[in-house]
Structure 1
């Protein structure tokens, strides 16, 4: 979060691009379930060692080709052309490995996967990328990365070529072409999830770890969306994937700089940059609690309700005033918001960032607003409404020109805490929580992009 100083806010598009698309970064290991129904012989992959990671990749590539054989003609009114320049697996740990197209030596691929438009080829590092992704985020992350790269091949066949990007850089900025590729990946994963894939079986319960991988491929915090190499922040990347998953291929193909909102921003002050966009825990609480009260008071009053300001109450242990709501709780009996300041909440703040704290608090203040509208605070509607209103609050703060507002990275912190924890999506009894994380991000994103009209509680 940031204090005063004005910054320009531009809502403009969402996510990923052509060569050197993804690079592996640290993540937490997951015990991901296999997503294949038998595997495909990787013999068609150039440079393959025939091992498990290339068998998984071959299975993904085979079903990706089947998906686009089926889908591309319906959307673009012409047949799908399979990859002509080859599929390449590169052992970057082997100094004698041959380089794939678009590179001069094999180690140019280290930690990377990419689509080479000049050769119409896809390549990946089977030593330092795909197995690392598999270990940290599960098989679905490997499939997602390859689906993204195939998305760039789709763009090439649409006419969004490197030449077109150079000729019209304002029409085809990198952040847009990357968003489109992530969106296409989402359409493929939905097709698999619907049971239409011959060899893959990706259930909804595996999507959270895959989105975790997508988050790790975000741009460094503070990267401007106008940067020529910008791929998107975590919020924008996840948004593009979810839009593809929910809206379909035609929606992805129609993405443009005119119709796509982007949230990625550069730092606007040295102070904010030096703090990496994060306020200290105590300072965050001091600033956000009155701001939340002011926002929800205005929301309730404008709708003709009567607002009662919740008493913001710090506790040394996790609140137990009304079931298990996690480290922040709305207490209906005395209309207060209690927050634990000794362990869990400060740790989330330190581990993820200050807006992890912000989202949890915003969702509990949202329950106070829902109480003013006489909404039942128990059950799925309450859990969903609280999370959506937290997104609507986030939207208002994001759009501010000055005063207390979001810093680059805050929306990413929101996505991270929502994927990892269900605290912000629990009802006021702690007995109902919205899940999985994929769904929590979807609901929160609705509030961010559409405001309170997406929430249906006022």
Structure 2
């Protein structure tokens, strides 16, 4: 986040539609471990819990792949290629009134081994990568570093995600004008379409129509969301730059659009659509911290001011943020931040939040090692406090804060607040990469941003990110209508 300084025009203050429900009082202090609920649905599909990946009875693909090894990662990759090919063979006639022509060439390579020529370059230039080469109509993947890292860190469906994305580019190549793709089309439009196509493919898997893979709508889709977070662009890049792929927020948006709609919707993504909603942008020249500020008494005071101003229209007094250890003596505690109903305060553990607010260690991400600092970024820490503040606003309005929708409504309100303060003159303003830090927190097993007052998170990462997105794009009113 950044501190803007001064005062300028602000958006209309946030309001919350009121649903009158009497809340049960909590008699004693209890710390909650963060049990995950399983109510509701994921984009119209039931919440399911099972191991996702290659089916035991999956057919053996009959594909010609250059430089193929007998490794588990190559077997997984070939199954993914066969599966996504079957998907597009079915869907192309339905959505685009033409048959799908198979990709001409497939290549597996080892970026740690001997160099080979591909798409006018060596695999050393491609390095840890997966890509589509239009001149050769070729999909290639690195079995040496990329696929093992994805599989080990995020599970097998992460590999399917990346290869499904590359096949999305092959789809664009075949559609041409039908997808609005030509030599002038920006990279970001192509990438958003490919992520969206991947989402439509995963919907097909989730509906049980794949011969090769099965994916649960809870842990399985979490693997997908985590892999999209991993392959995000660095904060501060411009979406207009050549090679821009988008932030994690942008990439998950496109994937979820495809999952919730269809391939034809994905093909309709164009520059105007991307320009209207993309969050990837350069750092402000006055942002001395390049998106990071400290978590301390001063910045918590600014956060208090920002929240009080943003939610002034709610008509109830907002809770006070107090540095008193993060636990409620007379109620349920969800450290490092807890909403205490009896005192209408948000008590925080400043030291724990400061640790959480350390920048994400990108080098540790790529090496597959745990970060020494263990941080998720300053915005993740601020957003956890915001989530408890909006619990207080809702409780003051007799809106239920302990039911199945409460966690999603809370994540939605965090998103609405984030958009509302993204204006010149706001005392705190989100920086490039902040929404990605929120996603990093939302993908944690014990996400507080998406938790109800008792610390129970919403069902899965897909639903949590979707709720944040709804609030960010559509404002606070949808938080009550979408999550009543």
Q: 2:447 — aligned with what?
A: 422
Q: Which residue of 2 aligns with 1:98?
A: 116
Distance (whole Å) between structure 2 residues aligned to residue 178 and residue 365 of structure 1: 36
1:230-379 aligned within 5 A: 230-260=244-274, 261-270=277-286, 272=287, 274-282=288-296, 283-298=298-313, 300=314, 306-319=315-328, 321-343=330-352, 345-350=353-358, 351-379=375-403
**1:442 to 1:400, Cα distance in 2 relative to 1, 3 A:** farther
Alpha-carbon distance in 2 for matches of 1:89, 1:320: 58
2:16 corresponds to = none
Specify the alignment match of 1:192 in structure 2: 205
Q: Could you tell me how far apart the structure 2 residues matched to 1:424 and 1:321 are? A: 22
Q: Secondary structure at the match of 1:159?
A: helix
Offset at residue 150 of structure 1 (A): 0.2
Distance change (3 Å), C-alpha of 1:294 and 1:276: same
**1:151-230 equivalence runs, <5 A:** 151-159=168-176, 165-166=182-183, 168=184, 172-204=185-217, 205-230=219-244
Deviations 1:249-304 (A, max 9, x none): 1211111122231011101125x2x5231110114312112111111112x1xxxx
**Post-superposition CA distance 1:190-223 (Å, at most 9, x none):** 1111110001111121222322221121111100
Q: Structure 1's 34 and 287: CA in aligned 2 closer, same or farther, altered over 3 A?
A: same
Highest RCO, 1 vs 2 (Cα 8 Å, sep ≥ 6): 2
Aligned equivalents of 2:377 and 2:132: distance in 1? 33
Give the 3 Å change call, closer, same or farther, for CA 70–135 of structure 1 in structure 2: same
TM-score by structure 2 length? 0.81
1:383, CA displacement in angstroms? 2.1
1:428 partner SS? coil
User: CA deviation digits over 1:357-410, x for unaligned, max 9?
Assistant: 221122212122212322122212322222211111111122456552111111
> Is residue 183–residue 242 contact of structure 1 (8 Å, CA) maintained in 2?
yes
What is the aligned partner in structure 2 of residue 131 from structure 1? 148
Equivalent residues of 1:42, 1:48 under 8 A apart: no
Per the alignment, do residues 92 and 315 of structure 1 end up closer, same or farther by CA in structure 2, a change over 3 Å counting?
same
Do residues 60 (structure 1) and 80 (structure 2) align? yes
Tell me if structure 1 keeps the 8 A contact 2:338–2:388: yes
Instruction: Specify whether residues 453 and 400 from structure 1 end up closer, same or farther in structure 2 by C-alpha distance, changes over 3 A only.
Output: farther
- The separation in 2 between residues aligned to 1:439 and 1:329, in whole angstroms, is 22
Gapped regions of structure 2 (runs ≥ 5): 9-50, 359-374
Deviation, 1:335, is 1.3
**Counterparts in 2 of 1:125 and 1:42: CA distance versus 1, 3 Å:** farther
User: Retained in 1: the 8 A contact 2:443–2:461?
Assistant: yes
**414-423 or 400-409: which moved more?**
400-409
2:41 corresponds in structure 1 to: none
Q: Which of the numbers 384, 409, 413 marks the counterpart of 2:408?
A: 384
Aligned residue-pair number = 417
Give distance in 2, aligned partners of 1:392 and 1:446. 8
Decide whether the 8 Å contact of 1:321 with 1:329 is kept in 2: no
Residue 427 of structure 2 corresponds to residue 409 of structure 1:
no
Higher helix share: 1
Q: Distance in 2 between matches of 1:160 and 1:319?
A: 59
Q: Is residue 179–residue 267 contact of structure 2 (8 Å, CA) maintained in 1? A: no
Unmatched 5+ residue regions in structure 1? 8-31, 301-305
After superposition, the Cα gap between the structure-2 partners of 1:321 and 1:267, relative to the gap in structure 1 and judged at 3 Å, is: farther
Range 212-221 or range 63-72, more displaced: 212-221
CA–CA separation in structure 1 for the residues paired with 2:178 and 2:408: 42
- 1:20 aligned partner: none
Instruction: Report 1:64-143 matches (<5 A).
Output: 64-84=84-104, 86-95=105-114, 98-100=116-118, 102-143=119-160
Indicate how the Cα distance of structure 1 residues 412 and 56 shifts in structure 2: closer, same or farther if over 3 A, else same.
Answer: same
Check 1:456–1:444 CA distance in 2 against 1; reply closer, same or farther (3 A cut): same
User: 1:46 maps to what in 2?
Assistant: 66
CA contact (8 A) 2:52 2:213 kept: no
TM-score using structure 1 length: 0.85
What secondary structure, in the 3-state scheme, does the structure 2 residue paired with 1:258 have? helix
Contact 2:228 2:251 in 1 (8 A): yes
